[in-house]
Chains A and B, each alone.
Chain A
């Protein structure tokens, strides 16, 4: 019926690593956000494959909650980016080293 869970988990690890690398390396705030989304998706993939392996629907419910929290996080984060951009016209994380506007 199905592929072994180890393959899904390995894929999830690699996807998470790419997302983490993007957050560490890129400077554009928006692209860093997208890389956070990549990491959330890696976690979702692991949740679903554990739910199937352990025969527990709770993993799928948790993915549902992760989706909701991701949506809220993106809304607030992009609001912050827009607010910052209004002060100083730059989406570069290096320019944002002051808490003060």
Chain B
């Protein structure tokens, strides 16, 4: 029985039993974490389950010799993105239990499950019957299956140099956008602060332009 399963899993008889074991454990961690994200009532628990899934995916990356990406996955996702999520959850104070037994739209969940099951089955079937490759492989260099950060870096700074620079512009835009979005709307803050500021110092800086309109 175990031998049959190993034959199924192993490609060309080259996979070792530790490989299969690591894959099974990491897959279990990924799926448990993903289900936990969806069913957890408390958003904080969802975020922690998300960390679990992300670590599982990092293990999968290591298993496929993508060591650099595994490190980036842990640093960027678990280190930055999930912390940002947790910060916003705490900041907004929405870390309360949520009643998920109630279904606001009748039949929505059944419809969602049916649609997702249909899509999943279709994808799995498509993976069985279709050929994966289209066009010419090796555009960016050959991934020999060994861990090679050198090739990744070379490809990133030669073939994909322009997209790489474009991502820097994207990050700048995201930072500016986040600052603009998180800023307090100037009209309301001026209206709230104009009166005390004017009462204290009549010659105060022109922060009360909208506020004076409110006064008039």
Q: How far does the Cβ of B19 sit from chain A's closest Cβ, in whole Å? A: 6
Q: Are B19 and A2 in contact (CB under 8 A)?
A: yes
* Given A17-B119, A50-B132, A52-B64: A75 touches B11 (CB 8 Å cut-off): no
Q: Give which listed residue, A8, A14, A19, A69, contacts B167 with CB less than 8 A.
A: A69
For A78, what are the chain B residues with a Cβ–Cβ distance below 8 Å? 84-85, 88, 178
CA distance A37 to B50 in the complex (A): 9
Q: How far does the Cβ of A96 sit from chain B's closest Cβ, in whole Å? A: 13
Q: 8 Å CB contacts to B: which residues of A1-24?
A: 1-11, 13-22, 24
CA distance A55 to B140 in the complex (A): 10
For B84, what are the chain A residues with a Cβ–Cβ distance below 8 Å? 74-75, 78
CA distance A76 to B98 in the complex (A): 25
For A70, what are the chain B residues with a Cβ–Cβ distance below 8 Å? 76-77, 81
Q: Are A1 and B142 in contact (CB under 8 A)?
A: no
**Which of the four size classes fits the interface of chain B?**
35 or more
B124 sits at the interface (CB 8 A): yes
For A37, what are the chain B residues with a Cβ–Cβ distance below 8 Å? 50, 77, 81
CA distance A94 to B102 in the complex (A): 13
CA distance A19 to B33 in the complex (A): 11
CA distance A10 to B23 in the complex (A): 12
For B142, what are the chain A residues with a Cβ–Cβ distance below 8 Å? 55-57
Q: Which stretch from B66-74, B193-201, B204-212 is at the chain A interface?
A: B66-74
Q: Are B177 and A55 in contact (CB under 8 A)?
A: no
B190 sits at the interface (CB 8 A): no
A16-35 near B? 1/0 per residue, CB < 8 Å: 11111110111110110111
Q: How far does the Cβ of B40 sit from chain A's closest Cβ, in whole Å? A: 8
Q: Are B10 and A48 in contact (CB under 8 A)?
A: no
Q: How far does the Cβ of A8 sit from chain B's closest Cβ, in whole Å? A: 7
Closest to B16 in A: A1
Q: Are B76 and A67 in contact (CB under 8 A)?
A: yes
CA distance A97 to B94 in the complex (A): 20
A22-B37, A75-B175, A79-B177 known; 9 new pairs, CB 8 Å cut-off, are A17-B116, A26-B38, A48-B66, A56-B138, A57-B143, A57-B152, A68-B171, A78-B178, A91-B43
